[in-house]
Structure 1
Amino acid sequence: MPFALVASLSGHAAGPPLITDDPGTPGDGRWEINLPITLEQTRDERIFEAPLLDINYGLGERTQLKFEVPWLVVDRRDNGTTDGLGNSEIGIKHRFLDEDRHGVSMSIYPQLEFNNPTSSDERGLVDEGMRFKLPVQMTRSAGPFEWYLEAGYEFVEASEDQWLYGVATSYRVHGQLELLAEVAGVASQDFDDEALVFNIGTKIGINDHLNLLLSAGRSFRGSSSGEPELLAYCGLQFLP
């Protein structure tokens, strides 16, 4: 499975193309549809989401519903290339604090990932079983920057549970160009095994209803660690 490749308030935002999410929601009755191709490359394999369909809908001003599913292409050094439908994920984000009233924005974002009724788990494209993530997001402005923090826990049915975390920042160069950076990681229950990556990216406004999303990064450790040598995200964000 990809490492985490993984809606906005007015102003700056994290979320796609980064791993770290933010408390933003699309707004009441509004859609946000992200359609990227992603890549995670390690020493032994390359995993493409080609594409990833990520659909979000605003249920009121503070709540967001999400559904996403990728088409996976996995190229392993020893076993060649396999492709098929990846796991689906559903989620609901609720923002319970707003920065203009409380000094910070905060949200909670439970998400459930599950196998589709295909043979993808049997062919090793995805892990068998469900995963349930329970992260919290926080945002605070600091001059021309926005800072984001996400932390949570993931319950894994067929393996060890793990912690998830990320810190990100955004800087708006002008109305149509935003620069992004983050450090994100996962860790085992007792923190004796950890993977940590960094990403840089950009969000470019094409018009009021379309953004171009780009990012690239890698693990802090070398390729011998088995962690990602390359993470990449290239996609379009539709705001109908």
Structure 2
Amino acid sequence: MPVTRDARPRRYLMCPPTYFTVAYEINPWMHQDVPTDTELAVRQWEELKKTYDELGHEVELIEPIPGLPDMVYAANGAVMGDGVVYSAKFTYPQRQPEGPAYEKWFADAGFPTVTATEINEGEGDILTVGELVFAGTGFRTSLASHLELQEAIGKPVISMHLVDPRFYHLDTAMMVLSDDDIAYYPEAFSDGSRRVLERLFPDALIATEADAEVLGLNGVSDGKNVIHNPRATALAAALAERGYNPIGIDTSELLKGGGGAKCCTLEIRA
């Protein structure tokens, strides 16, 4: 019998993809020679936001800034732990102005903020599972930022070493399903990091390579409803077997920039 799952209302920060395009190449998913359709990206983003609204979640918006086409990937903008905001400090110069923009939004909203001095890309590489925080490294976020993050939010931070460039952020290789349940793609991690996940989550949902390759793990869960790429069919079936309600939302245009539903969604953990 599937486990009965309970949804918990969430509060999210999102950024409309008003200026979305692929103007440069900083991850394996981005190709400037592949045309992008900004209007389609906006429609897909609006469907994602509408789904959150219909599920009873509160969605806050940050104003997009011209010249920052990746600002739609709000998850990269910061990370929150117990009401404290740890700002992002991006690896590539094309995205570096996003960090201060998101930090200003949180400060203006009245949240205490800690300005990062070490390279990190927010919830793209930092995922909260109950009382634990998992922080990726290997491609975008520095190992030094993990210690800085722990000092900022006062929660245990566990380092995860990513080894496959297709999964350059932790949120492309691992999805938080509940406070004690995750899904992940083992081959995206180093041997030691895999063994840590096996030890902490022996019953975790293991994603197939086919589902991982379409960024099926770049999803958002409220504890019951799981927003995911509809092309991740095996993942959807496995989620349903576990008592979750998988909801496929097409973000294929935004995938051209290397992100899906999770990349577009930063959780406000007040």
TM-score, normalised to structure 2, is 0.28
Q: Flag the structure with higher helix content.
A: 2
Q: Flag the structure with higher strand content.
A: 1
